[in-house]
Structure 1
Amino acid sequence: PARASAAAILRLIQSGKTAQRLVTVPEGWPSVLVRDALARTDELTGAAPLPAEGSVLPDSYAFGAGDTRASVVKRMQQAMTAYLAAAWAKRRPNLVVHTPAEAIVLASIVEKETGKASERRLVAAVYANRLRRGMPLQADPTVIYPITHGKPLGRRIKESELHAKNGYNTYAQTGLPEGPIANPGRASIDAVLDPADTTALYFVADGSGGHAFADTLAEHNANVTKWKAYRKEHGI
């Protein structure tokens, strides 16, 4: 540190402490934000590559001054490959996802739909139930992804966008989108590989950061009416 005394410098050397440099990827970040974060990290060198969506494991990664941005991305991707392999080996039988790649796609949707840890397995189960019945997932984040590449939309979804056919929009198609819409974290991957035991087919935001779940459309519509009124009343 600046203006450190000789004694303080000696203590620091003897302690073995090192300056730690970290770049952090939060759960649910799309790959464009991963690339942007690496590009802003001045201690790294070289071009910032755009990783394949869903290939990076969210975490904090240490690096040394002068490391290349490409080498950090490689370590992020190796971490995802290793975690996914271990999680897949422990998966519940008879899942709706049949490959690790499909698991990442569904986990990316779960990640974007809820930030509430207690809900992840429920959200994963709702989508699994819909897939088994051949129902469209109707996940709003899949509508947004082709428009912003995963960045926040900043406005309400337009009616025309709900009908767009682009391989991702799960209102306009059944089944999974053609690829991940973000980089899901460990908890969302685990939720998809071990979903909750529920018959719920619907959920709606309840205004508290969580969701109200329902088995039938009638119950869901009642929840929508209730929570729309709540959000309006509280200016949410």
Structure 2
Amino acid sequence: MKLKNILVILVVLGGFGLLGYLYVWYEKAFGPNLQNWNEEQYVYIKQEDNFLTVLKLLEPHLKDKAAFEEIAEQRSYPSNVVSGRFKLKNGMNSYDLIQALKSNLPVKLTFNNIERIEDFAGKLGSMFETDSIGFLDTFYDPSFLKEHGFTKENVLVFFLPQTYEFYWNANPLKMRNMMEKEYIKFWNGEREEKAKALGLTPIEVSILASIVQKETAKSDETARVAGVYLNRIKLGMPLQADPTVVFAKKLYTNDFKQIIKRVYLKDTQIPSPYNTYQNVGLPPGPIFMPDQSSIDAVLNAEQHEYVYFCASVDKLGYHEFAITLAQHNANSKKYSAWLNQAGIN
């Protein structure tokens, strides 16, 4: 056999060998490798985690573990593991898996309907890498509280219900700083002037807004309810707000999971700074995380002479307002009779 023919054969065999190698490599890099993966499932990698940790998380779902390790090495992933929250898809190949594990995805945080700062910290702790204690420590930081005039009882008003985006492994301080920008933006000069005209601080406005929001779910009467409470404050009357009694009872019994549908006379005797039947003025903190709309309802409260209001029997969800105690007693009697007839305890 001529040397030329031998060289041609060697070249052809080498080409087939190269093609074979490329095929094997292609299969390792681009063949489906992630299996039995829940499409709603995320991978969470902590700052202290390493490649072995990631491998352990994925191993039950890898069709070819060796292929994943080889591609990871080629892409220098083992020495550059990224912490955070990552979205994987069933059927992903090793190449796309590494790419996805380098793309930290933010968490969309929406919050409202929160009674206490502890509940808020608990919610954050369930959604982010830092636990609830870490968030509480950040919110209770003495220098932060002092800077804004907050206390542990009223710091909940700092957090305005809306939607934010944070990385799962975000520093709680950075998260607080971002929410601080929103708080400062909300309490602009115009709102501060309106609060001043009412004789209240922004914190006091938010505390009152928390009561107003708990008192009525009807947006078209929040400003009127706010006006009633402001009239009582001007007259030096106790606010006598049932929602504060509900909060006081939960705090007194250390049970915030209980559902209280009705406030009785005995409940108004509960010894608590949050009981506005027993104390004149606002409670030391909010009883709820008020919406921005409720805060604005207080700042733009309706001016009227009403001093009393009671749940309406004729327009469920709304209230009957009264100027005199006699009118109010008549409305209250009607409502109590309705509660008894409905068997609401």
Bin of the TM-score, shorter chain as denominator length: 0.7 to 0.9
Counterparts of 1:70 and 1:161, CA distance in 2: 40
**Match of 1:45?**
130
Distance 1:174 1:152, change over 3 A: farther
Letter in structure 2 aligned against 1:119: E
- 1:66 is paired with a residue whose SS is coil
Aligned positions of 1:49-60 closer than 5 A: 49=136, 51=139, 52-60=155-163
Distance 1:160 1:92, change over 3 A: closer
- The question of 1:226 aligning with 2:334 is answered yes
Quote how far apart the aligned CAs of 1:188 are.
1.2
Counterparts of 1:160 and 1:228, CA distance in 2: 15
Deviating beyond 6 angstroms after TM superposition, the runs of 4 or more aligned structure 1 residues are: none
- 2:279 is paired with a residue whose SS is coil
- 1:198 is paired with a residue whose SS is coil
Identity within the alignment, %: 33
- The question of 1:168 aligning with 2:274 is answered yes
**Match of 1:35?**
121
**Match of 2:146?**
none
Letter in structure 2 aligned against 1:162: T
Question: 1:177-230, CA deviations, whole angstroms, 9 ceiling, x for partnerless residues?
Answer: 223222211111111111012211111122622222212212212222223333
Counterparts of 1:114 and 1:86, CA distance in 2: 28
- The question of 1:139 aligning with 2:241 is answered yes
- The question of 1:102 aligning with 2:188 is answered no
Task: Check the 8 A contact 1:120/1:187 in 2, yes or no.
Answer: no
TM-score by length of 2: 0.56
Match of 1:154 among 251, 259, 276: 259
Question: 1:141-180, CA deviations, whole angstroms, 9 ceiling, x for partnerless residues?
Answer: 2223344359454234464442244322110121222232
Task: Check the 8 A contact 2:244/2:275 in 1, yes or no.
Answer: yes
Counterparts of 2:229 and 2:294, CA distance in 1: 13
**Match of 1:65?**
168
Letter in structure 1 aligned against 2:319: H
Counterparts of 1:180 and 1:164, CA distance in 2: 18
Distance 1:218 1:91, change over 3 A: same
- The question of 1:126 aligning with 2:228 is answered yes
TM-score by length of 1: 0.79
**Match of 1:203?**
309
Counterparts of 1:78 and 1:92, CA distance in 2: 20
Question: 1:105-153, CA deviations, whole angstroms, 9 ceiling, x for partnerless residues?
Answer: 2122112212211111011000011111111100122223344359454
Unpaired runs of at least 5, structure 1: none
Alignment coverage as a number of residue pairs: 225
**Match of 2:63?**
none
- Aligned-pair RMSD on alpha carbons? 3.1
